[in-house]
Every structure is written in C-alpha cells, then in structure tokens.
Structure 1
C-alpha cells in the first residue's frame, strides 16, 4: 500500500477517501498535501505510479490495464470499508475513467463522486483527433511543455533534470495515446460527475463525460491554462467543491 499510495496525512477517523490519480509524468506530492487542506473528514490517497519518487527504479507501466489492475490490487481491500471518490487531472482524468469502469465491471463497485479535470472524455472525437505528442521532435515537445505550463522553465533548461523528468512523462503519454474506449451505450455509474477545466487551456470535450453516468453532471470553468489547478485561488474552489459534495454524498451513502 505505502509503495503505490502516498497517504501523508493519515485519517483513520475520516468518513470518506479521495483517491487522486496523477497527471502525465506527475508524482503524488501535489495531491498528498490535499490531505491537510481538506480536513479530518476526508483521507487523501495520492497514487504513486512506477518510475517516479520512491518507485524510481521500477519499470514504467506500458498500458492502462496495468494501472487499473495495480490500483485494484492495492485499493480493493480498503474501498469497500467506507465511501470513496476519485479525482484526476489530464492523464489522471482518463485513468479515473478506466479505474471506475474496471471497478464497476469486475467488482460491481463505484465511487460516491468522480471529479475530472483538464481532459476530454476518452471516446470523444476531440480526444481521438488530437495530435499525438509522441510524434513531436524534442524541440516541439519542449515548446509544448512550455505552452501548457506547470513545468518550471529552469527545469526545462537543466539537461540532467530532464533526464529524470521526461521518461515518466513520455511513458504516461504513450499509455494515454494507446488507450481506447468506445462511447458507453448506457451509463455504467450512477454517481455524480464534476468536471473542471482552465479557460485558457486548449478546448476539451467535457460534455462527453456525461455519457458515463446517470447521476448529476456539472462543468466548472476556472481562469488559467492547462495547470490552472495549481493556482491557489482555483485550488480553493476545487477543494471547496470536493468538500461540499463529499459531505453530501456521505449523508446519502449512510
């Protein structure tokens, strides 16, 4: 558990768990700190994928199936104990979808809420027609990284740091580009789905996420580019939204 999940603020008394899945190339640190910001009623489980942080020596996953199977192995003993929700940004949003679909299909379990950010639904034309980042030259790739923000320019200017940073990013992008899922013929979950995005990011087909659920569906647009959620004011809006809706879901769950 501790290998794959960063639970920096352990909350055994929490009434719900929030499982946070990283963006491409990301680690667990950004979400782990949410465990303190969200308060005692929510325990944050920040997912740590192979090839980064304390798992740096492990080989990268090469498919979405590997990710979902590990998440089930690690989390299944616990997610039946109390209500749980999912949060993911960009690649993490796609991983949330794959994990939720796997849980429902294989174990007939579903979250009390799914929070998705900065990504089109995996079956939307917007996503399927998007240019593949793995086809970019090194110079084009660096320019793309600068354009979406979230990566300090000094890191991009440091060749030694890039040797550590780029491999997990490219590994995750290859998984995202290879992942395919047909538009659901009918919703496979009934929990609410909340979508967020940056107003200055490239356009995403957020509305398509509605096809996954028969429950409530909302879209919230916030100022900023792709990594808008790193802005303190935007982060507060997101965390307030999560807190409010988890408290409501917990009451319904009980």
Structure 2
C-alpha cells in the first residue's frame, strides 16, 4: 500500500481534534489529515457558516491547494458526511484529482428524505437532552458551564445549516468507490438508508455496520480504523 492522505471532516459541533485517537490505529502509510471547520478549534474566531454552500466552498478552498500527486481519501461523519459528499462532487466537477475512496459515516444517503427534528430551534436544555440521547459527548463537557456555553452555539449553528441543506440530483456519479458506515445501535439510520448510498458511485459501494451508536468513531476507533486500513489497501 502506497502513501495516502486521509482527510477527515467532523460531525456537527465537532473539531478536528475528534480524530486524534485514530493515529494509534491507522496504518503507518496513511497520513491522518483532520480538517478544521470555521468557528471551532484553531479557527474559533472565524465566523460560523450561514448556509451549507459556505461549508462546501470553505472546504474546497482549503483542499484544492493541498492536493498534489499523492493519492487521498475523505472520511465524513454525520454533518461531515454530507459535506464530504458535496465536496467530492465539487472537486470532480472542477477537474481536480479525484479521491481514491470516500467514507460516508453515520448519515443516510442524501436523496433519502426524512422529516427530521429542527434541532436548531431547541432550547439549550432540550439540546443537552438530545446530546445525552445520542451519546458521544464527554461528561466533563456537561459539567463545565463555560465549555458548554462555548460549544452549544457552534452545535446549533451546524444544525441550522444542515437542516436547510437540500440534495440536488446529478447526472454524473462519483468516480471512486465509497463505503457507507453506521453504528449498530444508531436507531436513526436504517439498513435502507445505508444501501441507498450505492447509487452515488460508478465504481462500487460497501456497507458496514460497526459496534456502537451514532458516535462509533469515538467509541470504537480501532474497529473503524481497521475498516479504513483494509479498504484503502484493497481499493487504494
């Protein structure tokens, strides 16, 4: 397996830091490249996104200058899943080097419509209850009022942007293989939601049900990294 970059896009409210523990499990020839979104982490002082198109444009301008002759793959989790999907199409339409593989995790295929809860309209207490239900949020965050007050506005902003995202069908499919992953305990994503991803690749799609819930990337990083290691070696 040759050297390959793995660009990772976080879930709503998440920062690039959520992927740091993957370093212990990824193959040594995979360069982990977590992507920081505006309004969090090292980009905390930058304005948050107003619409989903802003997310994609921001990612595109960050990514296009980092693409060279080296192969790369993209992993997107939940919010980052749709961002990865739209980014891949934009890169392809702009005639940049295509990724060797795309990992779409913890999110239904974009063409599958669901009447979802408008999380961005919830009160802070209601939002905390949602986080408790989904799991994946460190307990120390709930116990630190200052950290929670800084985190929740970012989360609400991401939820608002995602709520108004609208899928647009394209004539061209993605020119690389894809993998669709979800947690076995994530009741918000059905098997049909996952298999619906298959129509988006002209090469092929593999489906994975992994241990854990919506935030399986944090709960079982070794299992997820194992899938990535095997996939990039087989299809890279």
Select the residue among 40, 43, 46 that pairs with 2:28: 40
Compared with structure 1, are the counterparts of its residues 244 and 166 closer, same or farther at alpha carbon in structure 2 (3 Å cutoff)?
same
SS of the equivalent of 2:185 reads: coil
Deviation at 1:123, TM superposition (A): 2.1
SS of the equivalent of 1:125 reads: coil
Deviation at 1:163, TM superposition (A): 1.2
Question: Partners in 2 of 1:238 and 1:44 — Cα distance?
Answer: 13
Cα-to-partner distance string for 1:35-73 (whole Å, 9 max, x where unaligned): 453133111110111111221111112222222222222
TM-score normalized by structure 2? 0.90
Question: Partners in 2 of 1:114 and 1:135 — Cα distance?
Answer: 32
Question: Partners in 2 of 1:152 and 1:15 — Cα distance?
Answer: 33
Deviation at 1:182, TM superposition (A): 2.5
Question: Partners in 2 of 1:151 and 1:23 — Cα distance?
Answer: 12
Question: Partners in 2 of 1:187 and 1:207 — Cα distance?
Answer: 19
1:146 matched to 2:137:
no
Question: Partners in 2 of 1:43 and 1:198 — Cα distance?
Answer: 25
Task: List gaps (5 residues or longer) in structure 2.
Answer: none
Question: Partners in 1 of 2:235 and 2:212 — Cα distance?
Answer: 29
1:243 maps to which residue? 229
Does the Cα contact within 8 Å between 2:210 and 2:224 map onto a contact in 1?
A: no
1:180 maps to which residue? 166
Question: Partners in 2 of 1:39 and 1:223 — Cα distance?
Answer: 21
1:202 matched to 2:172:
no
1:118 maps to which residue? 106
Question: Partners in 2 of 1:197 and 1:52 — Cα distance?
Answer: 25
Question: Partners in 2 of 1:44 and 1:152 — Cα distance?
Answer: 23
Compared with structure 1, are the counterparts of its residues 154 and 78 closer, same or farther at alpha carbon in structure 2 (3 Å cutoff)?
closer
1:211 maps to which residue? 199
Deviation at 1:187, TM superposition (A): 4.9
Select the residue among 118, 126, 129 that pairs with 1:132: 118
Select the residue among 62, 82, 107 that pairs with 2:70: 82
Runs of 4+ more than 4 Å apart: none
SS of the equivalent of 1:61 reads: coil
Select the residue among 136, 151, 176 that pairs with 1:165: 151
Identify which of structures 1 and 2 has the higher relative contact order when contacts are C-alpha pairs closer than 8 Å and 6+ apart.
Answer: 2
Select the residue among 158, 172, 178 that pairs with 1:193: 178
Compared with structure 1, are the counterparts of its residues 163 and 203 closer, same or farther at alpha carbon in structure 2 (3 Å cutoff)?
closer
1:10 maps to which residue? none
Q: Count matched residues.
A: 232
